[in-house]
Amino acid sequence: MDPDKTAKPSFETALARLETIVDAMEQGEVPLADLLAKYEEGTKLLKVCEARLKDAELKIEKLKKTKDGGVVFEPFESGRGE
């Protein structure tokens, strides 16, 4: 397998693959051993997706250019107030 994919698939890749697996599993007449293998892979992908969902938190920042041409991120202050 592609080491990049086993290492850390993106959420979208993982979700798309997961849905493909679920579809395949739902086809019925899947040999039990196959089904279990698929379940195992599906569970891994599910973990990736769920971890990603769980880890996500709202963070709002603003990019600021420094004098030396670099960039820094600072918390975004609402310019007008809410």
Partner 1 sequence: MEKSEPEFPLGEAGARVQTVTEFTRRVKELLEGGLPPCWVRGEVSNLRAQSSGHVYFSLKDAGAQLACVLFRGDALRQGVRLRDGQQVLAYGQAGVYEARGQYQLVVRALIEQGVGQLQQEFEQLKQRLAAEGLFDAARKRPIPAMPRTVGFITSPTGAAGQDFIRILQRRGWRGRLVVLPAKVQGAGAAAEVAAMLRTAEALGIFDLLVIGRGGGSLEDLWAFNEEPLVRAVAACAVPVISAVGHEIDYTLCDFASDVRAETPSGAAELISSQFVAAAERVAQARTAMAQVLESSARRARERLDHARSRLRLLSPAAAIEQNHLRLDDLSNRLRSAVRASVQHRRQQLGDARARLAATSPTKRVQLESHRLLALWKRLESVSPPSVLKRGYVLVRDEAGRPVARAKDIKSGQMLVNEFHDGRVRVRTE
10 binds partner 1 (CB under 8 A): yes
Distances (CA, A) of 16 to 23, 29, 32, 39, 48: 11, 22, 23, 15, 12
Residues in contact with 52: Cβ distance below 8 Å, sequence separation at least 6, in sequence order: 11, 14
Q: Which of 59, 66, 67, 68 binds partner 1 (CB under 8 A)?
A: 59
**Which amino acid does the sequence have at 62?**
K
Sign of CA dihedral 49, 53, 54, 59: positive
Q: Which of 5, 37, 72, 73 binds partner 1 (CB under 8 A)?
A: 73
56 binds partner 1 (CB under 8 A): yes
Nearer to partner 1, 1 or 58 (CB): 58
| Contact residues: partner 1, CB under 8 A | 10-12, 15, 18-19, 21-22, 25-26, 28, 30, 32, 35, 39, 42-43, 46, 49-50, 52-53, 56-63, 71, 73, 76, 78-80, 82
